[in-house]
Structure 1
Amino acid sequence: MKITVTDAASKWFREEMGMTGRGIRFFGKVYGKTPVHEGFSLGMTPDDHPRDPIVAETKDNVTYYITEGDQWFFVGYDLTVDYDSKTDGPTYIYTDNGELDKED
């Protein structure tokens, strides 16, 4: 499991959310839908104090991370955070990383 943040997404987080020298936590939440989860969606929140991060990427002095408590949502996938100019916001791409195949 890993997080990749594109240059365009990093720029959006810095310019639109004022994220400089701070942190963004990604988490699974009830209700919604993703390409890989029915009934759950991805949430994100500014959080400068990671507790038990299981994966993190620092880009342009911002740390993007997932904590141990939200591992269930991301197991089996790598997360790419990109920017969507149509919605003027982040978009999330889930890539199968083969973790689930190893459990069999």
Structure 2
Amino acid sequence: MAGNAPLSKLNLSPRIIQWFKEEMHLQPGQGIKFFGKVYGETNAHTGFSAGMARCDHPNKPVIDTEVDGLHFYVQAADYWFFEGLDAQIDYDEGIDGPSYYFTPNDGSKLDTVASASVKSQHTDCNYN
């Protein structure tokens, strides 16, 4: 993790929070981890897309955003994908799931086109 760079943030829309509650059957105290995976793209990554999986007990979380008692994590081993970026996670009706949009957290601009990422089947919470 960068020394003086601001820590990345996860910003989740109310609609995606509701989707997680309904589709992932989340209850207060439970959570979701986000990570980068090979293949695909985001507006900030080429060759990598964002993934997510149910994770109630993360391994070394470096980001823990709590909303309505639910935890949304990035683990230390996955921080490379988020470093220097804030993630806006929203509901995408077209894929019936989360979409990810990244912005640099240093005030700079990205020179790419936004795209959504599909749900991941990565389920091992302690994978990293």
TM tier, smaller? 0.7 to 0.9
Could you tell me how far 1:76 is from its partner in structure 2?
1.3
In the alignment, residue 43 of structure 1 is paired with which amino acid? G
Aligned-partner SS, 1:50: coil
Q: 1:70 to 1:99 in 2, by over 3 A?
A: farther
**Matching residue of 1:15:** 22
> Which residue in 1 is equivalent to 2:66?
58
1:38 aligned onto 2:49: no
Report the counterpart of residue 125 of structure 2 in structure 1: none
Greater share of helix: 1
Q: Give the whole-Å Cα distance in 2 for the aligned partners of 1:4 and 1:81.
A: 6
Percentage of identical aligned residues:
43
Q: 3-state DSSP class of the match of 1:12? A: helix
- Please give the TM-score of this superposition, normalised by the length of structure 1: 0.88
**Runs of 4+ off more than 4 Å:** none
1:83 — aligned with what? Answer: 91
CA RMSD across the alignment: 1.6
Counterpart of 2:120?
Answer: none
Higher strand share: 1
Q: Assess if the C-alpha contact under 8 Å between 2:87 and 2:102 holds in 1.
A: yes
Question: How far apart, in 1, do the equivalents of 2:88 and 2:45 lie?
Answer: 16
Task: Give the whole-Å Cα distance in 2 for the aligned partners of 1:30 and 1:89.
Answer: 19
